[in-house]
Structures are given as C-alpha cells and as structure tokens.
Amino acid sequence: MRFLEILACIIAIRFLLNWYRLRRVTRLFDRYISWIAGRDEDLIEYRAETLALLKHAGIQDSFVANVQPVGYGMVSTSNVSVMDNFPNARQDMAMMTTRMFADARGVFRGRMWSTINPLAWLETAINLPKLVLAYLGVSPESFSTRILQVLWWLFLVILGGLYTLLKPQLLIYTKAVLLKLVK
C-alpha cells in the first residue's frame, strides 16, 4: 500500500510542477507582450527565469539574420541568438520569441497531461533503459543502449509470463492483505 501512496505523490508533484511552469511561462509571455507594447518596464528582472523555463522545456535557441552597415558601403552580416538578446522588441526576434513561448507552453501542458496518462507511464516503463541512458548522456542509437533495451524487453516478457502463471496465488494473497487492512 505504501508503494501506491508514493506513486500517487510522485504523480501529483509532477503534475503540479508542470502546471506551475505552464502558468509561469504564460504570465511571463503576457509580461513580454506588455513590454513590447511599452506598458511594462521591469521585464529584464525576469530574464533569467524566462530563459531557465525555456531551457527546462527543451526549447532550442533560435537565430535571426542581422545586417548592419559598417561604413564605406560595407555591411556586416551575422546570426544573432534570440535567447542571448532576450528581451528584444525587434520584429523578427519578437516573432521567434513568441514562438518559443508557445512551444514552451505546449511542452509543459503536454508534460502535465502525460503525467496522468496511463499510456504515457506504460511507454516510460517499456523504454526505461533508453530513457535512463539518454538522461546519463548515452546516445539512444548506441549499441549498448539497444542491447540493454532488448534485455529489458526480455525481462518484461518473462515477468509477464510469471504473472500469468502465478495470477491465482497473487489474487489470493492480495485479498488476504486487503482483508487484514479492513479489519
């Protein structure tokens, strides 16, 4: 029973964290729109928080072309990072920033709802070695990751077979435990 309580707490905490991040990104985007319109002066205070949330959502930095005259008929061209120049009201940067905010909102909303989606948990359980190794920095396409993934699947098949063989005994044991809890 303790396992189910811990699992419920993990699910609730993960759901609430992503809900909070979704609300923060939405509020920071509203503040950014106000800043572009000239109604908000202190957006720079939220720069670090905004960039941290965008990175936590896995949003990649975007680059826009920048052309500046340097004199004598010459121009300098470069690609400029949107994140490094946040906040910026330049139209092309504002468009990219708006897209980054929208992407982050979608990521956090998706993570929030996948937290309570049993199919997402099943997919996580099936691909657990690949996810753990990717977190540790090992490529999901590496040979070792594939071997561990196949071994994991074999383990799950064996575990499923054992469950079907022992199901009657497990049901009897579960009923006995539940009866003890009720009394």
Q: What is the DSSP string of 122-176?
A: HHHHHTHHHHHHHHTT--TTSHHHHHHHHHHHHHHHHHHHHHHHHHHHHHHHHHH
Instruction: Give the chain's end-to-end CA distance (angstroms, integer).
Output: 15
CA dihedral 146, 148, 153, 156 (to 10 degrees): -170
Cα 121 from Cα 151, distance rounded (Å): 19
Rounded Cα distance, 53 and 101, in Å: 9
Q: Which helix (H) or strand (E) holds 105?
A: helix 91-115
Q: How many CB atoms sit inside 10 A of residue 82's CB? A: 22
Task: Give the mean model confidence (pLDDT) for residues 58-62.
Answer: 90
pLDDT, mean over the chain: 88
The DSSP secondary structure of 30-41, one letter per residue, reads HHHHHHHTT--S
pLDDT at 173: 83
- Average pLDDT over every residue of 170-178: 82
User: Is the CB of residue 66 less than 8 Å from the CB of residue 79?
Assistant: yes
Q: Bridge-partner residues for 71, per DSSP? A: 74
Check residue 53 and give its pLDDT.
Answer: 95
Sequence ranges of the domains in the chain:
1-59+89-116, 118-183
pLDDT grade for 1, boundaries at 50, 70 and 90: low
Which of 27-31, 107-111, 174-178 is the least confident region?
Answer: 174-178
Counting residues of the chain whose pLDDT is more than 90, the rounded percentage is 36
Residue 77 β-bridge partners = 67
Reported as a single tens digit per residue, the pLDDT across 104-151 is 999 999 999 999 998 988 888 899 999 888 888 888 888 888 999 999
CA gap 9, 32 in Å, rounded? 34
